[in-house]
């Protein structure tokens, strides 16, 4: 059983989308910073770390879309002092939906591997790749069958008559 983790969530995540989805994730509780304390939305990130550290409820860390935090020495120093976890979808750009998708994809793993009492940073990314040609995959299948591409393709493609036939007609 994974211990349930509590993370503060910065204001850039789309709450109406994220909150219903995370309700189905037993490993995490995500709470928007404004719901922890309205004053927190005005704090610098280092102050937010400190506030979470001193909060009467135990917090595992902060989830933010602001990757510039990774270049701020005061924030990183206070993160180390508070021993909190920082989760940053770094490859989402300014797209909150993409950041939400990355977070939902990685959150179970983060919760399972987050250690209380040890400062950690989780940088989330999903590589964008160009499209690929189906021929590449079919060529690989042909090679595994130790045959040439053209005969392999011809053996599996539809006949001209079958190709012209609309399956919904």
Domains of the chain: 5-124 (3.40.50), 134-164 (no CATH)
* pLDDT the model gives residue 118: 92
pLDDT band at residue 155 using 50, 70 and 90 as cut-offs:
very high
Instruction: Give the containing element (helix H, strand E) for 63.
Output: strand 61-63
| 28-32 β-sheet, strand order | 28-32, 5-9, 61-63, 85-89, 120-124
Closest CA to 10 of 18, 71, 106: 18
With 80 as the cut, is the pLDDT of residue 131 above it? Answer: no
In sign, the C-alpha dihedral spanning 109, 33, 85, 43 is positive
Closest CA to 87 of 63, 52, 109, 106: 63
* Interatomic CA distance for residues 134 and 25, integer angstroms: 36
| Residue range 18-41: mean pLDDT, rounded | 89
Closest CA to 18 of 122, 106, 100, 124: 100
Cβ neighbour number for residue 128 with a 10 Å cutoff: 7
Q: How far is CA 115 from the centre of its chain?
A: 19
* Interatomic CA distance for residues 8 and 39, integer angstroms: 14
Q: Which of 5-9, 17-21, 106-110, 147-151 has the lowest mean pLDDT?
A: 17-21
């Amino acid at each position: 059983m994974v211990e349930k983790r509590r993370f503060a969530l910065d204001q850039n995540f789309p709450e109406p989308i994220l909150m219903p989805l995370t309700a189905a994730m037993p490993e995490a509780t995500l709470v928007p910073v404004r719901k922890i304390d309205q004053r927190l939305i005005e704090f610098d990130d280092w102050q937010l770390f400190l506030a979470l550290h001193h909060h009467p409820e135990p917090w595992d860390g902060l989830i933010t879309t602001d990757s510039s935090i990774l270049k701020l020495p005061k924030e990183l120093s206070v993160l180390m002092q508070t021993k909190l976890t920082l989760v940053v979808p770094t490859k989402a750009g300014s797209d909150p939906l993409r950041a939400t998708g990355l977070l939902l994809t990685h959150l179970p793993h983060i919760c399972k591997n987050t250690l209380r009492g040890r400062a950690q940073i989780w940088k989330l990314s999903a590589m964008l790749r160009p499209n690929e040609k189906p021929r590449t995959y079919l060529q690989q299948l042909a090679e595994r069958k130790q045959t040439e591409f053209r005969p392999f393709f011809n053996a599996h493609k539809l006949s001209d008559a079958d190709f012209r036939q609309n399956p919904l007609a």
